[in-house]
Structure 1
């Protein structure tokens, strides 16, 4: 069966809960606005779909089986997440309308590539592939997982980006804006603990 409600429920819960993508998109929506964050958002959607698809093709099992590859992915993800958190920590304390016009959100390709080292996406994709497989050929399983992950992640990303952009009205004062960015930076940095648990 291509559409499995249990698979979709599992994937939705796995992607909706806070992790690096959710935090980065919420912060980006607040910093840059909904429209400017769309390339980042679509990069996440495409990247997550690709990661889920290749996991169903057996790449997820290879990553789990190779301790060196697993460690390299974790180190890469941890380094990237800490770099993004540092950028949020150092970001302008001026609200979006007064911020530096040269400051820009993560690009489409940057967001796609980040999914290849995002351990939360790999973990959810691996669990979905192992627990909700339909017993079909690898290409069918890959298409099934990629469709589930991308379609659900589109809704998740739209929600969190919109939530972030709506927060801007509440963060008009420079102090409130700075506190928000610092909280998002700390939350993002804390997600690295999940990588090495």
Structure 2
């Protein structure tokens, strides 16, 4: 009656560290504004994951079983929001020296994971695959929350910094447009894979 903490931490790192809507948003933000300016957004993304971990842990998925159409609708609304973000990314231009531009802040970051279908799938998998029957809900939820938080505070800034480094290499060049369109395309592809691929969460 416990959480397979070590195995789940490996799973969490594999999921948080791979491309998905959140990481594409972080990379694009880092590319546009740089890591330092993007840190409040990064913090919001990290904390935003907690906004779905705890409700899932305390029975939100039971409601999903009782009202499946509601959750199906929320899934597509969430995907639509991520697609809109991808469109904005595609039309961004880097110009990291622009003083008037303001990076998205903590509140914007809070929305990323609650509207990210990969985050919901990943968190649900954590509870269904790594928690033994009869485990205390509080203990299970706290351990999963801590593991994901740890993976995020390490890996999310790395994705953001990667975007900054890419930006410094291509800003002002022809490749800039293609970078932003590629980031947008990867964001859309990651959502479509979660919705239709049925593979990795």
* Fold agreement, TM-score > 0.5: yes
1:109 corresponds to which of 107, 110, 122: 107
Counterpart in the other structure of 1:34: 35
Write the mapping of 1:91-170 to structure 2, written as runs, cut at 5 A: 91-92=92-93, 94-97=94-97, 99=98, 101-134=99-132, 135-170=134-169
CA distance in 2, matches of 1:18, 1:65: 32
From the superposition, tell whether residues 64 and 107 of structure 1 become closer, same or farther in structure 2 (CA, over 3 Å). farther
Given that 1:49 and 1:147 are in contact with CA atoms closer than 8 Å, whether structure 2 keeps it comes out as no
Matched, 1:73 2:63: no
Change (3 A) 1:176 1:85: same
Contact 2:16 2:155 in 1 (8 A): yes
What TM-score do the two structures reach when normalised by structure 2? Answer: 0.86
- In the alignment, structure 2 segments of 5+ residues that lack a partner are 197-201
The answer on whether the counterparts of 1:19 and 1:188 sit within 8 Å (CA) in structure 2 is yes
CA contact (8 A) 2:20 2:191 kept: no
> How far apart, in 2, do the equivalents of 1:118 and 1:66 lie?
20
Provide the C-alpha distance between the structure 2 equivalents of 1:60 and 1:47, rounded to a whole number of angstroms: 18
Question: By how many angstroms is 1:26 displaced?
Answer: 0.8
CA contact (8 A) 2:117 2:191 kept: no
Cα separation, 2, equivalents of 1:51 and 1:141: 14
> Contact conserved, 1:31 with 1:96, CA < 8 A, in 2?
yes
Q: Report the aligned-residue RMSD.
A: 2.0
Counting matched residue pairs gives 194
